């Protein structure tokens, strides 16, 4: 398997929680009055779990992810990441975020982009210790030999690989991904799905993955959190009891199609 630096936490017991939400409500002040983006969300995510999140537009998937990342304040309820408030987990570099845009610095080389998390944040109390060597991450995302390239010299898929490598450099306990492959074509998206599963198994990190795509949600997740809109609330949590490692051929199997069909039915009522 991967190098020791990437090995999963050895003592990640079953009752180890990476994330716990209790009655989380998020409201926004808009021009048209108070908007409830999330209402009374309660959820537990085991350490090392892969949870995908699916729902119609405006159901608050991204809002939920941003709440966990301490990018948005909650209006009610509590968020606890690795047993502490989200802001503390953020400063301890236990939370990483991968956006739909790769959000690379266009003037930095691939390797400098990956190392950005080591360069900033100390003034605000960030704790940065024993990072994964950037070269190792580069090999893991399949970009060995491109360390000096600038982002504009890479394809969209490659840029997103760099963003994933950057997100992993500080051994995050929880990786939040907001439609990271949403802007890619289907072939690249499939390829990156397979690679993401491999990276997940190598690193043992917890992943929360927001997507619009039913096949992607089923293919990646151990569970799918389905949200309904107006206001955003939990509609159903669906277990995907298909064994890993999963490969793309799985998508043509009846057990896969059956689960996807179930999600589609639930989604229609969201």
Partner 1 sequence: MAVVDQQEAAADTTAARREKVKQRKAKTWRDRWPPLAAVVGILVLWELIVVGFEVPTFIAPGPGEVVATMVERWPMLMMNLWPTALESLAGFALGNTIAVLIAVGFVHSRLAERAFYPIAVFINTIPIIAIAPILVLIFGNGFTPKIIIAALICFFPTLVNVTRGLKAVNPATLELMHVLSASRWEVLMRVRLPSSLPFLFAALKIASTTCVIGAIVGEWIGSNVGLGALIIEATYNFRSPLLYATVILAASLAVVLFTIVTLLERRLIRWKVDAAAV
By CB under 8 A, residue 124 contacts partner 1: yes
By CB under 8 A, residue 8 contacts partner 1: no
Are 141 and 164 contacting, i.e. CB atoms less than 8 angstroms apart? yes
Measured in whole angstroms, how far is the alpha carbon of residue 193 from the centre of its chain?
Answer: 12
Instruction: Pick the stretch among 122-130, 131-139, 197-205, 231-239 that binds partner 1 (CB under 8 A).
Output: 122-130
CB of 94 to partner 1, least distance (A): 11
Closest CA to 65 of 104, 101, 37, 29: 37
Determine how many CB atoms are found less than 10 A away from the CB of residue 261. 11
Instruction: Pick the stretch among 5-13, 113-121, 216-224, 259-267 that binds partner 1 (CB under 8 A).
Output: 113-121
**d(C-alpha 56, C-alpha 200), whole Å:** 26
By CB under 8 A, residue 130 contacts partner 1: no
DSSP string spanning 96-148? Answer: EEE-SS----TTS-HHHHHHHHHHS-GGGT----SPPPHHHHHHHTT-TT-TT
Closest CA to 96 of 12, 194, 148, 168: 168
Site for partner 1 in 135-164 (CB under 8 A): 150-152, 156, 159
Determine which residue in the list 45, 48, 54, 70 makes contact with partner 1, applying CB under 8 A.
70
**Direct distance between the N- and C-terminal alpha carbons of the chain, in angstroms, rounded to an integer:** 41
Q: Which CB sits closer to partner 1, 117 or 221?
A: 117
| Buried b / exposed e along 129-145 (16+ C-beta atoms within 10 A) | eebbebebbbebbebee
CB of 84 to partner 1, least distance (A): 14
Determine which residue in the list 126, 194, 250, 266 makes contact with partner 1, applying CB under 8 A.
126
By CB under 8 A, residue 223 contacts partner 1: no
Determine which residue in the list 27, 36, 75, 100 makes contact with partner 1, applying CB under 8 A.
100
Cα Dmax for the chain: 54
Instruction: Pick the stretch among 53-61, 90-98, 137-145, 247-255 that binds partner 1 (CB under 8 A).
Output: 90-98
Closest CA to 117 of 166, 172, 49, 181: 166
By CB under 8 A, residue 71 contacts partner 1: yes
Instruction: Pick the stretch among 103-111, 211-219, 222-230, 244-252 that binds partner 1 (CB under 8 A).
Output: 103-111
Contact footprint for partner 1 (CB under 8 A): 66, 69-71, 90-91, 95-97, 99-107, 116-117, 119-121, 123-126, 150-152, 156, 159, 183
């Amino acid at each position: 398997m991967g190098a020791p630096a990437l090995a999963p936490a050895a003592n990640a017991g079953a009752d180890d929680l990476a994330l716990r939400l209790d009655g989380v409500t998020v409201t926004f002040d808009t021009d048209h009055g108070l908007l409830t983006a999330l209402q009374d969300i309660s959820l537990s995510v085991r350490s090392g779990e892969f949870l995908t999140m699916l729902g119609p537009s405006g159901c608050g998937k991204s809002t939920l992810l941003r709440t966990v990342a301490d990018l948005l304040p909650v209006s009610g309820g509590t968020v606890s990441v690795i047993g502490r408030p989200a802001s503390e987990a953020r400063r301890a570099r236990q939370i990483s975020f991968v956006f739909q845009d790769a959000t690379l610095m266009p003037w930095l080389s691939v390797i400098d982009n990956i190392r950005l998390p080591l360069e900033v944040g100390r003034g605000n109390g960030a704790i940065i210790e024993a990072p994964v060597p950037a070269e190792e991450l580069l090999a893991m995302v399949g970009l060995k030999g491109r360390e000096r390239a600038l982002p504009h010299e890479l394809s969209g898929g490659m840029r997103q690989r760099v963003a994933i490598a950057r997100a992993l450099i500080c051994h995050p306990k929880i990786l939040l991904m907001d439609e990271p492959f949403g802007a890619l074509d289907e072939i690249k998206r499939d390829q990156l799905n397979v690679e993401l599963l491999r990276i997940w198994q190598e690193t043992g990190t917890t992943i929360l993955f927001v997507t619009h795509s039913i096949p992607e949600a089923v293919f990646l997740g151990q569970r799918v959190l389905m949200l309904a809109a107006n206001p955003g609330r939990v509609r159903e949590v669906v277990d995907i009891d298909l064994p890993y490692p999963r490969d793309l051929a799985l998508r043509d199997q009846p057990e896969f199609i059956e689960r996807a069909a179930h999600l589609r039915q639930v989604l229609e009522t969201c």
